[in-house]
Structure 1
């Protein structure tokens, strides 16, 4: 349901915003990525490109509130590209390592650094470039692929001499406008601050290992990974993972890979990035029956091992141009995606993000239910918060729209993010600051969502 009483603030960006992410390590700040087509009159510096973009540091709250008398507004960094930015993500195991996917077939890496300038009485932010990798080669006719989306693998390994030669071994899956799905592994310089001598060196293209996984007939728009068995669960110390992608051909495609692990820090497996030990893809299936238009979002729900509900199957959510959000479960033997339920929204379901997962307590003889709180970007339908509920007694799913926000947007909403504000309060309902953006009107809206349902269910238990 749309809530006309939502209070919000609006900012206008300098270019069209198509991706945003709040920094996990510094949640008062977020990064926006922009995508602009270069007009013919402005193409003197962009002869080989028809697009340009930026990444920019912004505060989550639009109003500056000084922490002490005389404090000045923060200095917010900005990086300009001769290409468009399509996707950005912080690494799940390193909250200041940022990846940026662009329209020139590259992913760029940055370290988000925040420090206080005592003399200047302000906070300074810096997006320190660490290098880049090329994901796809140019087409035989000279066309360059857009990296439409990428998804970090959670494994991370640090090694080398601290402050001199130390690096981070990381990997990610990526989709491209050529229909490709790939896995890329590389070592990124582990520069932690501006005093590192390597911070002054010009960023370079990093050596990488690129593995082709599978391909769509048309543009691939989204990619995700599901861990089937971790290294600790495998007898051969191997990570077994499913790579899922969706594209304009209305197909959802899955392949399996095995990732041998190299020695790492205790409890933190890492993926070997050498060609010799690269992953070997195995095709699993292609589903073209369940989506009636392009598949543009795939969200695996995180496994909840502490949940009292026995639920051995892994669950994925998809979004499509056909305006449906769909829930699938993976068969434990064949790994095929089994459709469970779907719900149509008032716009294409472009991006999905998990805000929370919890189980409502048992009341009397009732069986508890497991809930997933999802933030959705619905293109011309605005932004929405949705609750997905799994009922163990009936082995079924339900989809409940909680709130839809359209008031501040006059064009396509391609990206949203949210921050939990009251992490330590147990009795108060969870309150989220939500940032939603719209593309052509370049609006950035900030509003609140309160999950009263979670606290209410706990109180009646």
Structure 2
């Protein structure tokens, strides 16, 4: 196992929560930040005695916490990440993803119940990030915790929320008309941390703080994500449409919250999952029947996010970048041997982060092997690091 040192490290202005390279302008990446403004200081006991106003004290206590953030655009040049621009946002950012259908389109999950789209415009020498529509799908007290683009329907996103629900939302609707249009697909008992579509787009997986992995087939009527029905006939049609949708949940495989889900593209019903319990797992999750953990490995920190570095489906070998919260980043190899047994091997560790490593990504363009340029971040120390690893 290799221990890796950074080539460059720098301190950001705000805590980084997520990161993604642009699929087409491959030298550019975007960092989302999350800042929780401190509550107004409570009155001292002495002041409270003087004022003796319980109603005012209750108002201060009920005042919602204010979260703000930013999108920071960087360019990788040789051995350095160079900051290009910063776009402030009136909400904290919890997740970002470029669209697989229009790789200049960036979706941003906000802390005030919104999803906002941005456009990354680039030339040979420069790039800029421009805000597009903001979609207020939920109330301002709901945090959109994660999002994913539907693999075949260009305008559809899956989103997860702090109350625990998993929804489909449609970005082709006018932004002023999206209230009440989010279609609930799954629900967790606590925060829904993550979701992933199957490669065909016909089903969805989600993970929550309730230590549960959930699955649902998706209804055929995805062309209408509006849950509002106009008459009894519409309601009956929707109920009939939902009758054949298979759903299941698994509470046994994970010992804490499920925070990352990575379906393997060439393997039937095989997932890689991450959890707060510090373990990465290979999970057999058939549509019907018992789910089974095929392999697991303790990565010494909560496995918050998983990113595929290389997928060799013909060999059943997969190399994955794991963001492991307080343990830093790991590069792991997941493979199936000739006897059908799955194994997990840690190839490398990056441990310069001194707080929560929530976001890591790899520069596109080296999927077939060779040297990988990786950016990893950590939250409380606001650290961003550039490092490299050569895939075996």
| Structure 2 counterparts to residues 295-374 of structure 1, below 5 A | 295-303=258-266, 313-331=268-286, 334=288, 337-358=291-312, 369-374=315-320
Q: Which residue of 2 aligns with 1:153?
A: 150
Q: Which residue of 1 aligns with 2:60?
A: none
CA contact (8 A) 2:137 2:178 kept: no
Describe the shift of the 1:420–1:337 C-alpha distance in structure 2 as closer, same or farther (beyond 3 A): same
Give the drift of 1:242. 2.0
Q: Which residue of 2 aligns with 1:246?
A: 207
CA deviation digits over 1:175-230, x for unaligned, max 9? Answer: 111011111123179xxxxxxxxxxxxxx546474211121111111111114xx5
- The CA RMSD over aligned residues, in Å, is 2.8
**Secondary structure of the residue that 2:302 maps to in structure 1?**
coil
Q: Which residue of 2 aligns with 1:198?
A: none
Instruction: Answer yes or no: is 1:215 the counterpart of 2:187.
Output: yes
Q: Which residue of 1 aligns with 2:133?
A: 131
**Secondary structure of the residue that 1:77 maps to in structure 2?**
strand
Instruction: Answer yes or no: is 1:3 the counterpart of 2:12.
Output: no
The separation in 1 between residues aligned to 2:152 and 2:129, in whole angstroms, is 23
Give the drift of 1:77. 3.1
**Secondary structure of the residue that 1:21 maps to in structure 2?**
strand
The separation in 2 between residues aligned to 1:10 and 1:338, in whole angstroms, is 40
**Secondary structure of the residue that 2:3 maps to in structure 1?**
coil
Give the drift of 1:98. 0.3
Equivalenced residues, count: 359
Which TM-score applies when normalising by structure 2? 0.83
Describe the shift of the 1:14–1:280 C-alpha distance in structure 2 as closer, same or farther (beyond 3 A): farther
CA contact (8 A) 1:108 1:132 kept: yes
CA contact (8 A) 2:161 2:193 kept: yes
The separation in 2 between residues aligned to 1:251 and 1:374, in whole angstroms, is 22
| Structure 2 counterparts to residues 160-199 of structure 1, below 5 A | 169-187=154-172
Instruction: Answer yes or no: is 1:53 the counterpart of 2:69.
Output: yes
Q: Which residue of 2 aligns with 1:17?
A: 16
Q: Which residue of 1 aligns with 2:58?
A: none
Q: 1:103 aligns with which of 108, 111, 135?
A: 111
**Secondary structure of the residue that 1:151 maps to in structure 2?**
strand
Give the drift of 1:348. 0.5
Instruction: Answer yes or no: is 1:293 the counterpart of 2:263.
Output: no
**Secondary structure of the residue that 2:104 maps to in structure 1?**
strand
CA contact (8 A) 2:168 2:225 kept: no
CA deviation digits over 1:335-380, x for unaligned, max 9? Answer: 76432111111100000011111267xxxxxxxx421110000001
The separation in 2 between residues aligned to 1:438 and 1:387, in whole angstroms, is 23
CA contact (8 A) 1:17 1:437 kept: yes
CA deviation digits over 1:291-319, x for unaligned, max 9? Answer: 1111111111223xxxxxxx5x2311111
Instruction: Answer yes or no: is 1:384 the counterpart of 2:330.
Output: yes
The separation in 1 between residues aligned to 2:7 and 2:354, in whole angstroms, is 14
Q: Which residue of 1 aligns with 2:219?
A: 258
The separation in 2 between residues aligned to 1:186 and 1:34, in whole angstroms, is 23
Name structure 1 gaps, 5 residues minimum.
Answer: 66-72, 117-122, 139-143, 157-168, 190-203, 231-238, 262-270, 304-310, 361-368, 453-461
CA deviation digits over 1:37-90, x for unaligned, max 9? Answer: 113469xxxx7542110111111348569xxxxxxx88x232212221000000
CA deviation digits over 1:139-182, x for unaligned, max 9? Answer: xxxxx1111111110224xxxxxxxxxxxx51011111101111
Describe the shift of the 1:20–1:439 C-alpha distance in structure 2 as closer, same or farther (beyond 3 A): same
Name structure 2 gaps, 5 residues minimum.
Answer: 42-62, 228-233
Q: Which residue of 2 aligns with 1:141?
A: none
CA contact (8 A) 1:223 1:246 kept: yes
Which TM-score applies when normalising by structure 1? 0.71
Give the drift of 1:109. 0.4
Describe the shift of the 1:359–1:383 C-alpha distance in structure 2 as closer, same or farther (beyond 3 A): same
Q: 1:444 aligns with which of 366, 384, 390?
A: 384
Describe the shift of the 1:13–1:80 C-alpha distance in structure 2 as closer, same or farther (beyond 3 A): same
Q: Which residue of 2 aligns with 1:431?
A: 371
